Structure 1
Amino acid sequence: MYALFYFFAWAAMWVWVVKTRGNWNLLLANLAGAASGFLVALAISIVCSGLFPSAVPPSSANLLRDLLEVMTTAGALAGVWMWMLRRPQPEQPLARHLLAGLCGMTAGITTLMFFVLNFR
Structure 2
Amino acid sequence: MLGRGDAVVNTGGENVYPAEVEAALAEHPGVADCVVFGLPDERWGQAVAAAVELRLGATVTVEELQAHVGARLAGYKKPRHISIGTIERGATGKVRLPALRERADAERGPATR
Q: Tell me if TM exceeds 0.5.
A: no
Q: Which has the larger radius of gyration?
A: 1
> TM-score, normalising length from structure 1?
0.29
Structure ranking higher in helix proportion? 1
> TM-score, normalising length from structure 2?
0.30
Higher relative contact order (CA 8 A, sep 6+): 2
